[in-house]
Amino acid sequence: MRILEIAATGMMAQQTNVEVISNNIANINTTAFKRGRAEFSDLIYQSQQRQGTFSSDAGTIVPVGVQVGLGVKPAAVARITEQGSLQQTGNKLDVAIQGRGFFVVRMPDGTNGYTRTGTFQLSPDGAIVTPEGFELDPGVTLPENVSDIEINRSGEVFAFTPDNEEPVLSGRLNLATFINEAGLEARGDNMFTETLASGQPFIGLPDEEGVGSLRQGYVENSNVNVVEEVTDLISAQRAYEMNAKVIETADQMSQRVANMR
């Protein structure tokens, strides 16, 4: 019976759906997290009678035909890249991106990673680094006797020192944009890497056309909406239960056929 296989694909699809929703809810407080959405497509169809074929010698044509679907499969887990709300922290090294763009990070293997998480720290050498200790590209290093830091909307990093009345320009933060941000590969630790689907990065300066601006003393919150996620979770649960009910019905039908005399 095809019913069992079809319903099984439905249950597996809804299991994937619940896993995606669960990951969204788990990361509700993750800085700059972008929620995912499971997308599905139907499987191949079995044609028992093709539409458009001749049904008689008189040239009559079958208008509809008989096609039986074989279930559903996960097609993609799309990343929703809409802007998260900004939360003020007051920390001088917290920098949020308002608009498009990713901070460029130098990874230990020599490649570049990309992140929207701007919760930066200072290394022992005074370099601005990620919480994992990775430096930005290009790197920004502050003087030893820095007393205050100012990062403007355009990414310029100024250091205030007791020896200078005017702030010293220590470097500038760049942002990378991609044609298809959803095509980036998530590597964990809020880090992404480019793929053939994302295209190559376009390095630009913050607050330029097509590139977001920076807000010092802010972090970007997750764009997960709790109400929507709970609603989607309930819908996925109901769909899973209905597919399980189909399997139960198919089992009862099989038993009825087996008990026929």
Q: Which of 156, 175, 35 is nearest to 98 (CA)?
A: 175
pLDDT per residue as tens digits for the range 80-132 = 989 999 999 989 999 999 999 999 999 998 899 999 999 999 999 889 999 99
Q: Is 113 exposed, middle or buried (0-12, 13-18, 19+ CB in 10 A)?
A: buried
Q: How much is the pTM?
A: 0.83
Decide if pLDDT at 62 tops 80. no
The span from the CA of 162 to the CA of 141, in Å, is 17
Residue 209's pLDDT is: 86
Residue 21's pLDDT is: 96
Q: Find residue 40's DSSP bridge partners.
A: 74
Q: Please, what is the Cα angle at 130 between 150 and 203, to 5 degrees?
A: 75
For residue 147, how far is the Cα from the chain centroid?
38
Count of CB atoms situated within 10 Å of the CB of 100 = 18
Say which residues have a Cβ less than 8 Å from residue 59's Cβ, sequence separation at least 6: none
Q: How confident is the model at residue 147 (pLDDT cuts 50, 70, 90)?
A: confident
Count of CB atoms situated within 10 Å of the CB of 162 = 8
In three-state secondary structure terms, 66 is strand
The span from the CA of 107 to the CA of 39, in Å, is 32
Place of tokens 């997290």: 33
> DSSP labels for 192-220?
EE--TTT---EEE-TTSTTS-EEEETEEE
φ/ψ of 56, rounded to 5, equals: -160, 170
Residue 250's pLDDT is: 86
CB 160 within 8 A of CB 150: yes
Instruction: Indicate the length of the chain as a whole number.
Output: 261
Count of CB atoms situated within 10 Å of the CB of 70 = 14
